[in-house]
Structure 1
Amino acid sequence: MSLHQREIGGQAKVKPHAEHPAEFVLLSSGTAAWDGILLEHLRFPPLDISDVCAVRHHLTLQLKTPRKVELKANGKFNSQQLLPGNVCITPFHHLHAIRWKDEMEVLSLTLEPEFVAQAVQEPVNADRAELMMYRGQKDPLIREILLALKTELETGCPSGRLYGEAMGTALAVHLLKRYSTAQSAFTAYEDGLPQYKLSQVLEYVQTYLDQDIKLVDLAELTGTSQYYFCRLFKQSMGVPPYQFVLQQRIERAKQLLQQKELAIADVALLCGFKNQSHLTTLFRKYTGVTPRVFRNL
């Protein structure tokens, strides 16, 4: 049984909904609004995976207990011990094979090649920058990002689309900086966004606050990559884009809650929250009270 789709032809989808058979999946971002990335918490039985060509960039984080695996290189299988926290990287188009004899638990994250190219479009041609194969790598940043995304999923994705896409962007840049065959030079900008571009972004956010704002759309307004947009926006506003959007949604909710004729469920939708429960969770986090209590103050 192969764990990755074999490449039969055609374009990879922008948003993968499943990467592994359902019986292995404990948690998945397949229903989350994260374009270009997919996170899965997996528990595997013993498996022998034949030569498979990865159709996306693929990362796994070893969880819980050490496991011995056999990896194929130069036509031969070699044993390797994977420790908790170890990261394995399988690049797009890489042919690989692996097998193990004990149950194994991992976090798996796939990145669409198009997402990587979009995330870093200005400093490097991501279509030509090939990632390298790694097995059993210690990488604290990859570990932190995958665990943070897992926590976000477990709590119902309260931070929204922008959070997941920003984390995926940070991961894409890290992979190109550290694990790419190309020399990736990333310019350090320190002055934030020009005022007129920042004003365009702030106006866009206010106009579409009730909708599912995408990171790529905000970046396109400024003519930068998603990576640089996130850096420049935080320099200008002091918070990352996802946090700013959440703050603006809370502020709009405060205004609308003053209109007693509006149901709280309607206020939630008008402010871009998924439902009343989503609004209540974040409103209480930011203000210390529920929307109902706030309305009655």
Structure 2
Amino acid sequence: MTSIFRELGEREANDVRLPACESYFLMLYLEDAEHADIRSDGSCTPVRRFGRGTVCLVDLADGAAIRLNSRLRSLAFVLPKTLLGETAELSPDTEQRRLVCRRGEPDSVIHNLGTALLAFFSGNGKAPSPAPLRPVAVAICAHLLHRYGEPIETSGGEAPGGDPREDFGAALLPMATRIDRAKAYLANHALSLEDIAYVCGFGDLEHFERAFAGETGVTPSAWWRASLH
């Protein structure tokens, strides 16, 4: 666990790179930030805004890199996959799962835990010895497995629906629950409509817009505009 506070430099490169390893990387944004992902070919995705209290979760199997467009103040966790496996074994209700990557998703549990954990840090940004933090690490892993986990193996390599972009765990939720989740994302203003459709379990934007309008009587865009006021 590391506390990150990085100002946007004027001359040096504003890249943050993480080496490949058998771990997941979880970052909690302590204030609003803007950055782009750096692709493997060196090009960048469009810059996106990530709101305070949201999280990013990525698999470090191939490493990860971002290019900052604002200063970054966050709390970062490197979670070994072996720890996730051990956590799954501690609970009879938790099976071995892989975590589905997330970008800018609100997570009140991680936000509250992260706020409490900031008290552990000294002025150098380094966390104390791992021993007192291990129960917290297990709690974080259990939460991630329950919220973002999906079976490691699926029938035929695909989940129901056949669209590899869809969040299949969310797709199994009742429609009203998925629409409520979408409303929360729209109010946060951190995700695009396409990303919200993905994390709420819809195969494409058209399906999401049709389902949202059917439940609420308005389009997602209209709901988003109303949440600005």
Q: TM-score, normalised by structure 1?
A: 0.41
Q: Which has the larger radius of gyration?
A: 1
- Name the aligned partner's letter for residue 42 of structure 1: I
Residue number in structure 2 paired with 1:179: 148
Q: Of the candidates 154, 158, 161, which is equivalent to residue 131 of structure 2? A: 161
Is the counterpart of residue 43 in structure 1 residue 10 in structure 2? no
- Name the aligned partner's letter for residue 133 of structure 1: C
Deviation per CA, 1:106-139: give whole Å up to 9, x if none.
111122222222222154554xx21111111100
C-alpha separation in 2, matches of 1:90 and 1:125 = 20
Q: Displacement of 1:74 after TM fit?
A: 9.4
C-alpha separation in 2, matches of 1:82 and 1:70 = 10
Q: How many corresponding residue pairs?
A: 141
Q: Displacement of 1:148 after TM fit?
A: 1.6
Cα pair distance change 1:154/1:49, threshold 3 Å: closer
Identity of aligned residues (%): 19
Two-structure CA RMSD over aligned residues (Å): 3.4
Higher relative contact order (CA 8 A, sep 6+): 2
C-alpha separation in 1, matches of 2:73 and 2:21 = 20
Instruction: Give runs of ≥4 in structure 1 deviating > 6 Å.
Output: none
C-alpha separation in 1, matches of 2:71 and 2:16 = 14
Residue number in structure 2 paired with 1:295: none
Cα contact 2:47–2:69 (8 A) shared by 1: no
Stretches of structure 1 lacking an aligned partner (at least 5 in a row): 1-38, 184-297
Q: Displacement of 1:59 after TM fit?
A: 1.0
- Name the aligned partner's letter for residue 35 of structure 2: V
SS in 2 for 1:116: helix
Q: Displacement of 1:103 after TM fit?
A: 2.2
Is the counterpart of residue 111 in structure 1 residue 79 in structure 2? yes
Stretches of structure 2 lacking an aligned partner (at least 5 in a row): 9-13, 153-229
- Name the aligned partner's letter for residue 143 of structure 2: H
- Name the aligned partner's letter for residue 27 of structure 2: T
Deviation per CA, 1:55-98: give whole Å up to 9, x if none.
4221111123x222112579751221011111111124154332
Residue number in structure 2 paired with 1:258: none
- Pairing of 1:23-38 with structure 2 (within 5 A): none
Cα contact 1:91–1:130 (8 A) shared by 2: no
Q: Displacement of 1:49 after TM fit?
A: 4.3
Is the counterpart of residue 68 in structure 1 residue 37 in structure 2? no
- Pairing of 1:133-212 with structure 2 (within 5 A): 133-154=101-122, 161-162=131-132, 164-182=133-151
C-alpha separation in 1, matches of 2:89 and 2:37 = 33
